[in-house]
Structure 1
Amino acid sequence: MGTTEHEVTGGEAHAGCGCGVDEEGRKAAGVDPAAKERNLKRLRRIEGQVRGLQRMVEEDRYCADIMTQIASVHEALRGVGRELMRNHLKHCASSAIRAGEGEAEAMYDELIELMYRHAR
């Protein structure tokens, strides 16, 4: 089994596909700078939407309007998640799978867990 830039252990979810290294020291195998910038831009927009939601609640706005905005934020977050998953598959997962059986098996477990978590 070869050593790669992406170290997978225990099938835990890898959060490094936009930040480089996760809390367990696993490294992203590659981050597309354009995708990273798109994600940051989208997250800033979402942050603004959440602040707007806070104002709506503080101002006792109509519940249905608040719920509509919550649905919008939820879908925007799902879009960022899809982009991160795409990058994770393209860089981190493909690198781990090419590395050999041990890393590939751990990556398969990680991907299955991510898909279950994301499909909720």
Structure 2
Amino acid sequence: MNEEKKKAVVLLKTARGQIDGIIKMIEDDRYCVDISTQILSVIGILQKANLNILDQHLKHCVRTAILEGETQGDEKIDEIINIIDKYIK
């Protein structure tokens, strides 16, 4: 596992812990704005983890595919475009 994936795993484990905390906040009938703030924090962590994975993908998988040939490179680029499209929606 490379460094970007390791960073993503740490972030995802952090998000998992925060989600458990959010569930407890809801069960304890905590203040809604505090809960919402924590949810936004988890969303930020998930986005950062996703960017780490995409960074790794671009630097390794896409680069390799482009060097191996036009078809493989085009397929990988199309995958990234689809992800970016989901991000902006």
Report the TM-score when normalising by structure 2.
Answer: 0.91
CA distance in 1, matches of 2:10, 2:76: 28
Tell whether 2:19 aligns with 1:55: no
Per-residue deviation, 1:47: 0.6
Q: Which residue of 1 aligns with 2:81?
A: 112
The one-letter amino acid paired with 1:89 is L
Larger RCO (CA under 8 A, 6+ residues apart): 1
CA distance in 1, matches of 2:14, 2:77: 32
CA distance in 1, matches of 2:71, 2:85: 22
1:1-120 alignment, distance < 5 Å: 31-32=1-2, 34-120=3-89
Choose between structure 1 and 2: higher helix proportion.
2
Per-residue deviation, 1:71: 0.4
Amino-acid identity (%): 35
The one-letter amino acid paired with 1:102 is T
Q: Which residue of 2 aligns with 1:9?
A: none
Tell me the matched-pair count. Answer: 89
Report the TM-score when normalising by structure 1.
Answer: 0.69
Alpha-carbon contact 2:67-2:73 (below 8 Å) kept: yes
Q: Return structure 1 stretches of 4+ with deviation > 6 angstroms.
A: none
CA distance in 2, matches of 1:101, 1:37: 30
The one-letter amino acid paired with 2:25 is M
CA distance in 2, matches of 1:96, 1:118: 23
CA distance in 1, matches of 2:7, 2:80: 23
CA distance in 1, matches of 2:48, 2:16: 14
Alpha-carbon contact 2:4-2:55 (below 8 Å) kept: no
CA distance in 2, matches of 1:42, 1:112: 24
CA distance in 2, matches of 1:58, 1:47: 17
The unaligned stretches of length 5 or more in structure 1 are 1-30
CA distance in 1, matches of 2:10, 2:77: 30
